[in-house]
Amino acid sequence: MHIKHRLTPPYTPQCNPLERANRVLKTMIAQNIKKSQKTWDLYLPELQFVFNTAPSTSTGFTPAYLNCGREFHVPESLAHETALASNRKHQHRIESIQAALELAQNVIASNFQKQQGHYNLRRRKWAPEIGEKVL
């Protein structure tokens, strides 16, 4: 599966993408609880569905498609799907996932370049002179 375990520095939530996902989820819960704060957990399945089917601005794809290779359907339409699929469909799905992942990596790289350009607009090049006091 080529899964790489990556560690983040302790006490630095900005390095952990899961913290950003948690922030979005907390906002979604806060907007949906309305008056009763005791029933927030009843909304979790719907919020999870919304979160997994919303396209990411970084990749251009939904998390459902990048992780599962297909878009999720509304729960009522799941009963109409067939459970069996042919090997060709599986092979086509694998190839489309690989193409989508490659495209997502390219989109992330181009977005990184854009963000780097915005960041570098305010940056000044500085190098200390010999004998200059620095903090």
Question: Which whole number is the average pLDDT over 40-50?
Answer: 83
Are the C-beta atoms of residues 93 and 99 closer than 8 Å to each other?
Answer: no
Residue 89 has pLDDT above 70, yes or no: no
- On average, the pLDDT of the chain sits at 79
- Per the confidence metrics, is the pTM higher than 0.85? no
Are the C-beta atoms of residues 58 and 107 closer than 8 Å to each other?
Answer: yes
Question: Which whole number is the average pLDDT over 1-9?
Answer: 85
pLDDT computed for residue 87 by the predictor: 61
Question: Which whole number is the average pLDDT over 60-80?
Answer: 74
Q: Helix or strand or coil: residue 10?
A: coil
% of residues, the chain, pLDDT over 90 = 1
pLDDT computed for residue 96 by the predictor: 72
Question: Which whole number is the average pLDDT over 71-88?
Answer: 55
User: What's the token pair of residue 30?
Assistant: 């806060």
Residue 81 has pLDDT above 60, yes or no: no
Supply the DSSP symbol for 42: G
How would residue 77 be classed by pLDDT, with cut points 50, 70 and 90? very low
**What Cα–Cα distance (Å) separates residue 93 from each residue in 51, 66, 67, 69?**
22, 11, 12, 6
Q: How far apart are CA 79 and CA 116, in angstroms?
A: 46
Q: Among 12, 101, 113, 24, which residue's Cα sits nearest to residue 59?
A: 101
Query: Cβ of 59: how many Cβ atoms within 10 Å?
Result: 19
pLDDT computed for residue 38 by the predictor: 84
Question: Which whole number is the average pLDDT over 53-70?
Answer: 86
% of residues, the chain, pLDDT over 70 = 87
Q: How far apart are CA 82 and CA 85, in angstroms?
A: 8
Query: Cβ of 72: how many Cβ atoms within 10 Å?
Result: 15
Burial category of 118 from C-beta neighbours within 10 Å (exposed 0-12, middle 13-18, buried 19 and up): exposed
